[in-house]
Amino acid sequence: MPSLTELEQYLNGAGIVYKKESASNLCFVLNVPLSSGKRKAFELTAIQSGSGLLIKESGGCLPNFCPNRHINMGGYFCLGFEIEGLPIHDWISYIKDYLRAQEYVNKHRKWPKHVKEWSHGNAAYYQQLVENDLLKLRNNNVNIDFKKIELREVSPAKCYPNRPHYHLYYGSKLVSTGIDNKILNKRAACICITDGSAKRKHKTIGGCENQCSKTLYQIPFNEKKRVLEDNKFWDYFEGQKCCMTMNDCKLNNINNNT
């Protein structure tokens, strides 16, 4: 993530006037082109926090807190993992995309479908793990439909009587069996074999150099952790006032049901 010094250098180079209120705080106006062809000026405040930046809208166009709009307490933008390591020019472009999404919400009261959403709080970490594993499988020519992955807890294995035992299905096909994060049926055909040639190629789960079935096996566990962390996030903010700027707000639903 860029530093405040890098942001200053960018603003100077772009000819954007800013006001530095302290050594760690500056305010500036960012003109953002919208899909309508118009431009909108957003008043922004950037604050140096550790080695990175916190940024918020300070002109009253956005709520001070809205998890569904990815706005943290105090109005600071929740930008997800994509900002890690971005050069300042790319970071500014990402901020513009974020603000375009916010303007869409202002008009339509829902998050735009074409803009990626990260899970809330620590759940975003597990979302990243799931997405990375899906990408790893695609890079190995294994195209997985996430909705077809199903993890079932079954009776404990005799060799591990006190540990949960799982069957992993992809569609109707049993792919692997295991306990916790450990696969037990390593001699079975790997998920990357689709032509029945596993025996001929000796492409077993344990012998797959790309560990395709092992990667697939991890996905539902991390998704389960993602859901758990997401629920913890909403439980933590139970009772917080909803900004009422979206049609479907989990925060509002939680408060109405308590």
pLDDT digits (tens, 9 = 90+) for 164-178: 999 999 999 999 999
d(CA 30, CA 9): 15
- Helix (H) / strand (E) element for 26: namely strand 25-33
pLDDT digits (tens, 9 = 90+) for 46-96: 999 888 899 999 999 999 999 999 999 999 999 886 667 789 999 999 999
The pTM assigned to this predicted structure is 0.84
pLDDT digits (tens, 9 = 90+) for 99-127: 999 999 999 999 999 998 899 989 999 99
What is the band of 152 on the pLDDT scale with cuts at 50, 70, 90?
A: very high
Delimit the domains of the chain by residue range.
4-118, 123-234
pLDDT at 196 over 80: no
Using the Cα atoms of residue 82, residue 86, residue 92 and residue 93 in order, give the sign of their dihedral.
negative
β-bridge mates for residue 153, sequence order:
166
- pLDDT for the residue 198: 46
113: nearest Cα among 121, 105, 122: 105
- pLDDT for the residue 203: 82
d(CA 61, CA 106): 9
Residues 213/193, Cβ–Cβ less than 8 Å: no
Residues 40/21, Cβ–Cβ less than 8 Å: no
Architecture of domain 4-118: 2-Layer Sandwich (3.30)
- Helix (H) / strand (E) element for 28: namely strand 25-33
- Helix (H) / strand (E) element for 47: namely strand 39-49
What is the band of 258 on the pLDDT scale with cuts at 50, 70, 90?
A: low
Q: What residue type is assigned to position 99 of the chain?
A: L
Three-state secondary-structure class, residue 122: coil
